[in-house]
């Protein structure tokens, strides 16, 4: 039997992506950094590296929400809104009632949004895409009402958030002190905890998980609440980084957070992937953004290019990894 | 014996998947008017061979001649042009489309399809029925009818009958034989010797990816084929027969009374005792699917009671049934397996299902349990990374292994030996007996009637949604079971 076409290098790359997703990803990241160095000699420095990490961390944290929900075949498109609300509440309530209560209220609202998501998805069986978009819309409405009726006496950003968001120690961003334990915990949980395994199981075959005695609603409820909490904490970190409270603070991170997870090799259909790849995906996106910034394209053009790149890279990766 | 008239002549076919060598040097010839059995143990490479011949997989080496000409089969469409039409081991129909839509997609005419469906014993099948709503057996018939409607020169059937109840198997065998008698060719993959004896002219035997023999089917050839399949290590002759235990008189493990679910299961009652293996015999669609689903907590009954160890139970979720010690190995492994996950993860799911097990996994403990289950069932460990890469029989073993690892009280086995080779089948009978001897209770539906004598103590026969007979395994020869299954011996048990 003769062969008409040998497997293309593209499909072989896809195979590699599925089997050992981290290697080609890291390769791609190194390649991008090399291109950046050629385009702008002298740009690479310890400072640049620290800065890239600093920008990538909130993105990577929101992408954790996408990774975990995507493992079950879901998605959480309310993360940007939750982060924004958590940041806005903290900044405006802190001068009124003090920092700890402000943060408590901020995180409580993140938990509530997560619970509502979880309830809708787990119990009412609403599709995660619709459910999370819906709660995001409603929550934004509440935020507008809040902004109107609570007269802010000013904005205060808690010192430790500033330290965490913008400070550096030994040249590295302080936010690593939050992110490293966070990443270790997520990666551990996805491989070595019962909950993590069940995310994969539900994504791979929900009916089979059910027949094995898994009450799928419990997992969904916990998962989306957890996702809300992660988004809320990310909002606090982001507040320290951006140093202003805005009504759309973290919204531009919604799409990139999904893209980071997809580029990182997590299947949008569930059952495959992991957080390790997502972190590299977030770094890749951040380096790409730097590149566009350095190319001195006006803001409008930059957004168009960034959107196009995210879409095409994501489409390419889906094509590569979802072939069978 | 590559005779001149070979319609299909494949030689030296090899295929590897990464580190796994699926085929080393396989060959196969089939002439017009012949049915050739392709046999071999689980993982021997049969399905891989069929997929290569029909253009789904590309071989690493090998030659294929079709009607004497060197041929290229590079895609399923190419195979179809040559008249090679397959029915693969797993149903290849799109679940969310109707039967008619699936036919349209595959460019198959509906009229001949209807003819074959009727011929195969399902005249009532509605073309607008959703694939998702059809039971596995009907899907297999749809698959076959669709293939027949294409008027294949060579029909390749990969374990088509594994999921079929006896009455449908008979129809299929007749139709397949008639194809050959009409001058066409058939390649027939099966683990069932009685089918091979009934319709095949020759058998080509694969072992570990190598064609090790090509024999004419004649009386007494069975042991020789087994020997070739297993490579010298001849298993003990098929004599799993055992003394039947008296049924203890204490409270039964499982007491089912007047159970009714859906439209098919109308009124079923029976007792299942500790230490007992109770067979369930039924033709297609007599309510057996509903019975197992209900007992596993996957469907709610509309009437009737279930008692476990004397206590009445209702199951709102499979977790409730599992908590009461009832665990199901479903008939369709697509419903049981996490195809994209590893064997280990598949086996371990029930161990993690409850909230209190959501925390840290004790990896050593888990590894020990999983290894023991893999060992007990002799799962092919060459492709453990993703269950979808295991051969069909090995996938089936994983569905059983899951509950061995968890530990069983009451096991609901729905056709557990489907697609499993003869050696492992014997191991599974032995395993089921062992479990029973250790105090488990087993409900064992099988579409292969001979298994009742080999594995069970008693058998209940279900017809039309009701128990029509209870037969002692010692008297359960196939003719008796068959008569009962057709409702001919109804004697309303007390
Ligand atoms: N896509 C794949 N990737 C890796 N290994 C594979 C793949 N497909 C099949 N294999 C391996 O190739 C070997 C042969 O598998 P195949 O499905 O052909 O066996 P089979 O003879 O049909 O067995 P069964 O009777 O259990 O259906 C097995 O070891 C299987 O694990
Ligand atoms: Mg097979």
- Cα angle A208, A212, A214 (rounded to 5 degrees) comes to 95
Q: Which of residues 223-262 of B touch A (CB under 8 A)?
A: none
Kindly state the tokens that stand for B220.
Answer: 């007494």
**Strands lying side by side in the sheet with B6-17:** B69-70, B61-66, B6-17, B20-31, B210-216, B202-207, B35-39, B185-189, B154-158, B84-87
Cβ(B392) to ligand 1 under 6 A?
yes
Cβ(B367) to ligand 1 under 6 A?
no
- Cα angle B297, B299, B300 (rounded to 5 degrees) comes to 95
Mark yes or no for CB contact A1/B359 under 8 Å. Answer: no
- Longest Cα–Cα distance in chain A: 80
Cβ(B266) to ligand 1 under 6 A?
no
Question: Pick from B72, B345, B361: which is nearest to A193 by CB?
Answer: B361
CATH number of the domain at A314, please.
Answer: 1.10.3470.10
pLDDT of residue A304: 87
CA B398 to ligand 1 centroid distance, Å: 14
Cβ(B22) to ligand 1 under 6 A?
yes
B345 Cα to chain A: minimum distance (Å):
8
Residue ranges of chain A with per-residue pLDDT less than 50: 1-7, 324
CA B7 to ligand 2 centroid distance, Å: 23
- Cα angle A321, B16, B189 (rounded to 5 degrees) comes to 100
pLDDT of residue B235: 47
Whether B1 contacts chain A with CB within 8 A: no
**The ligand 1 atom nearest the CA atom of B48:** 18
Mark yes or no for CB contact A213/B350 under 8 Å. Answer: yes
Cβ(B287) to ligand 1 under 6 A?
no
pLDDT of residue B97: 92
The answer to whether the CB of A129 falls within 8 A of the CB of A78 is: no
List CB contacts of B62: < 8 A, sequence separation 6 or more: A1, B10, B11, B12, B13, B14, B26, B52
Model confidence over B434-448: pLDDT tens digits?
A: 899 988 999 999 988
Mark yes or no for CB contact A1/B336 under 8 Å. Answer: no
The answer to whether the CB of A295 falls within 8 A of the CB of A65 is: no
Q: What are the chain A neighbours of B358 within 8 Å (beta carbons)?
A: 193-195, 198
Name the H helices within chain A: 9-19, 22-39, 46-71, 79-97, 99-122, 128-149, 159-166, 176-192, 194-204, 206-211, 216-242, 254-263, 275-294, 299-321
Residue at A15 is within a domain:
no
Residue ranges of chain B with per-residue pLDDT less than 50: 1-4, 234-240, 492-494
Query: Residue A191: closest CA among chain B residues belongs to which residue?
Result: B361
Mark yes or no for CB contact A208/B318 under 8 Å. Answer: no
Cβ(B20) to ligand 1 under 6 A?
yes
Rounded-to-integer distance, Cα B82 and Cα B91, Å: 22
Rounded-to-integer distance, Cα B38 and Cα B489, Å: 38
Rounded-to-integer distance, Cα B30 and Cα B80, Å: 17
Rg of chain A over Cα atoms, rounded to whole angstroms, equals: 20
Whether B355 contacts chain A with CB within 8 A: yes
Whether B60 contacts chain A with CB within 8 A: no
Residue A296 three-state SS: coil
Residue at A150 is within a domain:
yes
pLDDT of residue B486: 75
CA B444 to ligand 1 centroid distance, Å: 27
Phi/psi class of residue A101: alpha, beta or left (left: φ > 0; alpha: ψ in -120 to 50)? alpha
CA B437 to ligand 2 centroid distance, Å: 32
Mark yes or no for CB contact B353/A218 under 8 Å. Answer: no
Top residue of B358, B366, B387, B407 to mutate, by most chain A CBs within 10 Å, is B358
Which residue, B88, B67, B84, is CA-closest to B189?
B88
Residue at A173 is within a domain:
yes
Question: Pick from B10, B319, B334: which is nearest to A215 by CB?
Answer: B319
CA B88 to ligand 1 centroid distance, Å: 13
Whether B324 contacts chain A with CB within 8 A: no
Mark yes or no for CB contact A214/B349 under 8 Å. Answer: yes
Residue at A241 is within a domain:
yes
Residue A292 domain boundaries = 21-322
Q: What are the chain B neighbours of A271 within 8 Å (beta carbons)?
A: 338, 340-341
Q: Which residue do the tokens 């590559």 mark?
A: B2
Number of H helices, E strands in chain B: 16, 20
Query: Residue B335: closest CA among chain A residues belongs to which residue?
Result: A208
Question: Pick from A5, A193, A207: which is nearest to B358 by CB?
Answer: A193
Query: Residue A322: closest CA among chain B residues belongs to which residue?
Result: B340
CA B337 to ligand 1 centroid distance, Å: 16
Kindly state the tokens that stand for A255.
Answer: 């799409």
Environment class of B107 (CB within 10 Å of its CB; exposed 0-12, middle 13-18, buried 19+): exposed
Residue at A41 is within a domain:
yes
pTM: 0.83
Whether B322 contacts chain A with CB within 8 A: yes
A219 Cα to chain B: minimum distance (Å):
9
Question: Pick from B64, B337, B358: which is nearest to A205 by CB?
Answer: B337
Spell out the domains of chain B, with CATH numbers in brackets: 3-230 (3.40.50.300), 254-485 (3.40.50.300)
**The ligand 1 atom nearest the CA atom of B209:** 14
Model confidence over B204-223: pLDDT tens digits?
A: 999 989 999 999 999 888 88
Which residue, B444, B356, B40, is CA-closest to B229?
B40
Rounded-to-integer distance, Cα A72 and Cα A217, Å: 12
The answer to whether the CB of B485 falls within 8 A of the CB of B281 is: yes
CA B109 to ligand 1 centroid distance, Å: 32
Residue at A10 is within a domain:
no
Q: What are the chain A neighbours of B345 within 8 Å (beta carbons)?
A: 197, 200-201
Q: Minimum-distance ligand to the CA of B378?
A: 1
CA B159 to ligand 2 centroid distance, Å: 7
Whether B329 contacts chain A with CB within 8 A: no
Q: Which of residues 168-197 of B touch A (CB under 8 A)?
A: none
Rounded-to-integer distance, Cα B458 and Cα B411, Å: 15
Cβ(B47) to ligand 1 under 6 A?
yes
Cα A101 to Cα A139, A145, A234, distances in angstroms: 20, 20, 18
CA B140 to ligand 2 centroid distance, Å: 15
Residue at A14 is within a domain:
no
Rounded-to-integer distance, Cα A108 and Cα B255, Å: 50
Question: Pick from A4, A197, A215: which is nearest to B345 by CB?
Answer: A197
- In chain A, which residues touch B (CB < 8 A)? 1-5, 7, 192-195, 197-198, 200-201, 204-205, 207-215, 218, 271-272
The answer to whether the CB of B454 falls within 8 A of the CB of B241 is: yes
Question: Pick from B328, B350, B360: which is nearest to A192 by CB?
Answer: B360
Environment class of A323 (CB within 10 Å of its CB; exposed 0-12, middle 13-18, buried 19+): exposed
**The ligand 1 atom nearest the CA atom of B421:** 25
Q: Minimum-distance ligand to the CA of B39?
A: 1
B13 Cα to chain A: minimum distance (Å):
9
Query: Residue A188: closest CA among chain B residues belongs to which residue?
Result: B360
Top residue of B63, B323, B346, B352 to mutate, by most chain A CBs within 10 Å, is B352
Residue B367 three-state SS: helix
Residue at A1 is within a domain:
no
Domain count, chain A: 1
Q: Minimum-distance ligand to the CA of B22?
A: 1
């Amino acid at each position: 039997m003769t062969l008409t076409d040998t497997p293309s290098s593209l499909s072989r790359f896809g195979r590699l992506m599925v089997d050992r997703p981290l290697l080609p990803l890291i390769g791609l990241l190194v390649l991008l950094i090399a291109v950046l160095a050629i385009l702008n000699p002298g740009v690479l420095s310890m400072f640049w590296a620290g800065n890239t990490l600093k920008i990538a961390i909130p993105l990577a944290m929101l992408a954790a929400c996408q990774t975990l929900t995507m493992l079950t075949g879901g998605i959480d498109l309310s993360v940007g809104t939750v982060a924004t609300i958590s940041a806005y509440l903290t900044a405006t309530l802190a001068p009124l009632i003090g920092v700890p209560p402000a943060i408590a209220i901020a995180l409580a609202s993140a938990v509530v949004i997560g619970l509502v998501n979880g309830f809708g998805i787990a119990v009412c069986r609403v599709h995660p895409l619709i459910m999370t978009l819906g709660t995001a819309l409603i929550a934004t409405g509440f935020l507008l009402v809040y902004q109107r009726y609570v007269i802010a006496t000013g904005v205060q950003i808690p010192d430790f958030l500033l330290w965490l968001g913008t400070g550096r120690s030994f040249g590295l961003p302080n936010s690593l002190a939050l992110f490293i334990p966070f990443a270790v915990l997520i990666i551990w949980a996805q491989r070595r905890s019962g909950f993590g395994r069940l995310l994969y199981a539900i994504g791979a075959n929900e009916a089979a998980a059910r027949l094995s005695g898994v009450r799928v609603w419990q997992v969904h409820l916990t998962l989306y609440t957890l996702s809300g909490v992660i988004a809320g904490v990310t909002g606090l970190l982001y507040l320290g980084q951006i140093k202003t409270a805005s009504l759309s603070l973290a919204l531009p991170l919604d799409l990139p957070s999904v893209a980071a997870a997809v580029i990182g090799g997590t299947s949008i259909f569930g059952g495959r992937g992991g957080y390790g790849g997502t972190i590299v995906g977030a770094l890749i996106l951040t380096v790409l953004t730097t590149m566009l910034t350095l190319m001195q394209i006006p803001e409008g053009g930059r957004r168009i290019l960034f959107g196009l790149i995210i879409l095409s890279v994501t489409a390419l990766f889906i094509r590569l990894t979802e072939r069978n | 014996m590559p005779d001149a008239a070979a319609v299909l002549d494949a030689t030296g076919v090899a295929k590897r998947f990464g580190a796994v060598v699926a085929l080393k040097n396989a060959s196969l010839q089939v002439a017009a008017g012949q049915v050739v059995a392709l046999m071999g143990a689980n993982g021997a490479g049969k399905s891989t061979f069929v997929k290569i011949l029909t253009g789904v997989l590309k071989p690493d080496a090998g030659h294929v001649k079709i009607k004497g000409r060197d041929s290229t089969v590079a895609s399923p469409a190419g195979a179809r042009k040559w008249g090679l039409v397959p029915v693969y081991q797993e149903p290849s129909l799109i679940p969310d489309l109707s039967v008619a839509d699936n036919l349209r997609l595959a460019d198959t005419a509906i009229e001949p399809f209807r003819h074959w469906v009727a011929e195969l014993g399902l005249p009532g099948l509605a073309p607008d029925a959703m694939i998702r709503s059809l039971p596995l057996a009907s899907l297999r018939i749809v698959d076959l009818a669709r293939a027949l409607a294409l008027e294949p020169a060579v029909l390749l059937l990969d374990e088509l009958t594994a999921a079929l109840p006896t009455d449908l198997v008979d129809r299929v065998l007749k139709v397949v034989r008639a194809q050959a008698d009409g001058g066409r060719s058939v390649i027939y993959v099966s683990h069932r010797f009685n089918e091979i004896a009934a319709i095949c002219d020759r058998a080509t035997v694969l072992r570990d990816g190598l064609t090790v023999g090509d024999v004419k089917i004649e009386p007494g050839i069975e042991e020789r084929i087994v020997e070739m399949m297993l490579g010298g290590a001849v298993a003990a002759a098929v004599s799993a027969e055992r003394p039947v235990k008296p049924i203890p008189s204490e409270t039964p493990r499982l007491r089912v009374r007047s159970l009714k679910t859906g439209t098919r299961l109308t009124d079923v009652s029976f007792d299942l005792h500790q230490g007992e293996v109770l067979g369930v015999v039924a033709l297609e669609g007599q309510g057996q699917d509903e019975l197992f689903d209900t007992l596993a907590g996957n469907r709610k009954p509309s009437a009737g009671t279930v008692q476990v160890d004397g206590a009445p139970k209702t199951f709102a979720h499979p977790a409730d049934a599992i908590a009461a010690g009832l665990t199901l190995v479903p008939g369709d492994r697509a419903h049981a397996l996490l195809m994209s996950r590893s064997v280990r993860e598949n086996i371990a799911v029930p161990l993690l299902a409850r909230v209190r097990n959501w925390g840290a996994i004790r990896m050593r403990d888990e590894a020990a349990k999983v290894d023991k289950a893999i060992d007990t069932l002799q799962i092919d460990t060459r492709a453990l990374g993703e269950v979808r890469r295991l051969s069909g029989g090995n996938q089936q073993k994983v569905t059983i292994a899951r509950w061995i690892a968890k530990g069983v009280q009451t096991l609901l086995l729905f056709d557990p030996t489907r697609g499993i080779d003869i050696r492992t089948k014997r191991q599974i009978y032995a395993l089921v007996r062992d479990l029973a001897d250790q105090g488990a209770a087993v409900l064992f539906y099988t579409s292969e009637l001979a298994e009742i004598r080999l594995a069970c103590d008693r058998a209940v026969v279900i017809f039309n949604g009701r128990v029509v007979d209870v037969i002692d395994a010692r008297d359960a020869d196939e003719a008796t079971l068959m008569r009962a299954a057709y409702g001919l011996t109804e004697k309303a048990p007390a």
